[in-house]
Structure 1
Amino acid sequence: MSQSSILVIAKAIPPFIGGIEAYSAEIASAYVQCGLRVTLLTPEACIVPGVDGRLNRSPQGAKAAPQWIALVKILASLWHLRKKEWSWVHATSWRMALPVLLMGTGRRLVISVHGREVTGQQGLMARLAGWVLRKARLIVYVSEATRREVHHYFPELVTASSVVAWNGTSFSESRPAGEVSANLRDPLRILTVARLVKRKNLAFAVAAVAKLSSEITRPVSYVITGTGAEREAVARAIRDAGVLNGEIKLAGYVSDGELQCLYRDADIFFHPQSSAHDASDVEGFGISIVDAMSHGVPVVCGKDGGPSEYISHGENGFLVGGLDLGEAVDCLSLLASNQALRQRIGEAGRSFVREHMSWPNHVSKVLKELAAH
């Protein structure tokens, strides 16, 4: 069958917040850019993207349906679409593949795996996740680290057809190449963009920035954006830090426009993620890290998970241990004191992302693998 049409099934797309939600919208648009006819199915809508891949997205303030309600809604929509023929059906998470299998139409099923949504399952849910993934024609992993972790928890998937395809970026770059902060009297602007969950290691990040602030003469402005269950823990870490030479701000949710301004103005992006608290909770990819690199912002991030695949230490970013405060502060201090280094590392990161990371590249790898099978 010709690869001319594809059904993408997702629990939600932006403005719902989350990596899988953003991923779902991006790959639907990218399939259009690759010349396919696309239908994007969510519990709330059946969307046919425009010829440019643009989506009519959910209104701001809408709430995502609980998981079981979302599955029922998807199943109902699939029933109405049962007479349509699709070259492939791409479920952006294993749960969204369940309705496809219940309809008995899983022979051309593609499932994306991001990490925690699979490796974090236990008991019956783990067995169900493994069963669903074994039914897929192709499993798409967002990094080799994710594939390795999934194979550790589900050895039976080692022989399943799969491909590793890196994600793209969320924005076009908005900062001109070579533009970095040169006035040492201005605050050193450090930025973190992340969901406020344990894996992101944000209390550690606050402690590292506070220590940096006490060791350098330049004032430090540190902004953490995002929402999540660890908000109070992060706020407490900020209160306990007692920063002497600058400020640490927990900004919460920010709009895309505000976020682009933060990337544009940042001197350093800091994302010291760690799986030390939970071996099953590994950073699968790290889109915000790649977004920072695409803006030419030098990155200091954790060694664990997917980022170690695309960051070469000292070349296009810095990798640090998520428990080694001294190592993190040393890397931050090195960048803080050396404008030329910030520019060199930032531009190397930008060039790497331009060459290797885009959503059309992601779906092209998927389509190439499907054609081979």
Structure 2
Amino acid sequence: MDHDGFFERNEGRYVVTHTQGPVWQKIRVALSSACQLLAACMRGPSPIVHVHSACGASFFRKSFLLALARAFGSKTVFHLHGAEFRQFATIETGPVGRRWIRHTLQRSSVVIALSESWAEFLCEFAPGSRVVVVPNSVPLPPVTARQPQEGNILFLGRAEQRKGTFDLLRAVQALKKTIPVVRLVIGGDGDLDAVARAAAELGISDNVDIAGWMGPEEKKRRMEEASVFCLPSYDEGLPMAMLEAMAMGLPIVVTPVGGIPEAITHGDNGMLVSPGQPARLATVLAQVLGDEELRSQLGTRARKTIEERFGTTVVLERISRLYRDLATQ
């Protein structure tokens, strides 16, 4: 959990606030995290409390911890993840919940957004919030000689409509006519049975490998085998799977949603296709799969982008500076 000594350098401690399992186990972990926070605040001096939050139960659980920390005079950092936060904050939550969300954002010492577009939304939704942009980070793996398989497309993420999974299946159906060996590998959870049914209905079951959830070693192997990474989402923050693929030097085809256009320049370090356009997606994938020089260029520039802007060392230093600034305020 401690990347390159980050916690040691910042005298930090990681506290688990949630776990998978039965309700009683989740309650036990949540109470334990609150008790650990209380103990740290009571020992003094008040620590800086940094939470990573998505939406739904995650938000309410973490916002309670922030409120508890502020009661003891702690500076607080709310770090937003999750592409569905806008819908959660503006549509799914009632008036009381929206007021609490705004209160949490406005009372936080700093709110971290993953992209400028998300920062703009947060400032509009909760005026007066101090919002800074710190992107997701990924480790930069050693350069290895990848051995991509012809026509191999890799999708990593939750298999669902929001991630564009079914658009990608339709694109593969179109690609099969000109690239018979095309193969789509789907790594992740979600409604995998629905994906299998859709592939069968489109007549591409033999071209789709529904691998399900992947551990680190399998994911690395699949990236080494892939000719291109594709994530045709309808909304995103700044997807980790995309950044990991870029770090591996994979050419990527993605959609210009969320923070993606701030990281990807079409034709330079990736290819952009508007969401919900499977025919156009198939055209761009065919272009990348059929041009080895283009794939090499895109992959090289993608890795360079990670090295310069999204590498773990670069991003964690920005967070360390943020902590130092808060400590002197």
- State the TM-score, normalized to the length of structure 1: 0.76
Q: Which residue of 1 aligns with 2:80?
A: 113
Q: Which residue of 2 aligns with 1:15?
A: none
For structure 1, which runs of at least 5 residues remain unmatched after alignment? 1-24, 45-57, 275-281
More helix by percentage: 2
For 1:29, the aligned partner's letter is: H
Query: Whole-Å Cα distance in 1 between the matches of residues 162 and 73 of structure 2?
Result: 33
Q: Which residue of 2 aligns with 1:40?
A: 14
Q: Which residue of 1 aligns with 2:283?
A: 330
Cα deviation for residue 216 of structure 1 reads 2.5
Q: Is the 8 A contact 1:167 1:287 kept in 2?
A: yes
Q: Is the 8 A contact 2:139 2:312 kept in 1?
A: no
Partner-residue secondary structure (3-state), 2:118:
helix
Cα deviation for residue 190 of structure 1 reads 0.7
Cα deviation for residue 220 of structure 1 reads 1.2
Partner-residue secondary structure (3-state), 2:43:
coil
For 1:88, the aligned partner's letter is: I
Query: Whole-Å Cα distance in 2 between the matches of residues 360 and 64 of structure 1?
Result: 37
- State the TM-score, normalized to the length of structure 2: 0.85
Partner-residue secondary structure (3-state), 1:273:
coil
Q: Which residue of 1 aligns with 2:65?
A: 99
Residues 258-312 of structure 1 show CA distances to partners (whole Å, capped at 9, x for unaligned) of 00111111100010001xxxxxxx3000110011111111000111111111110
Q: 1:289 to 1:106 in 2, by over 3 A?
A: farther
Q: CA RMSD in A?
A: 2.6
Q: Is the 8 A contact 1:106 1:136 kept in 2?
A: no
Q: Which residue of 2 aligns with 1:300?
A: 253
Q: 1:235 to 1:290 in 2, by over 3 A?
A: same
Q: 1:134 to 1:113 in 2, by over 3 A?
A: same
1:1-373 aligned within 5 A? 25=1, 28-29=2-3, 32=6, 35-43=9-17, 63=21, 70-81=29-40, 82-93=42-53, 94=59, 95-103=61-69, 104-105=71-72, 107-116=74-83, 118-119=85-86, 120-121=88-89, 122-123=93-94, 124-152=96-124, 154=125, 156-157=126-127, 159-169=128-138, 172-173=141-142, 175-176=144-145, 179=146, 181=148, 187-217=150-180, 219-228=181-190, 230-243=191-204, 247-274=207-234, 282-370=235-323, 371=325
For structure 2, which runs of at least 5 residues remain unmatched after alignment? 54-58
Q: Which residue of 1 aligns with 2:56?
A: none
Q: 1:220 to 1:110 in 2, by over 3 A?
A: same
Query: Whole-Å Cα distance in 1 between the matches of residues 49 and 226 of structure 2?
Result: 40
Q: 1:174 to 1:106 in 2, by over 3 A?
A: farther
Q: Which residue of 2 aligns with 1:278?
A: none
Alignment identity in percent?
22
Residues 150-203 of structure 1 show CA distances to partners (whole Å, capped at 9, x for unaligned) of 344x1x33x321210111115625633xx454xxxx641110010234321101
Q: Is the 8 A contact 1:89 1:108 kept in 2?
A: yes
Partner-residue secondary structure (3-state), 2:189:
coil
Residues 208-239 of structure 1 show CA distances to partners (whole Å, capped at 9, x for unaligned) of 1121112225x0121001012x3333222212
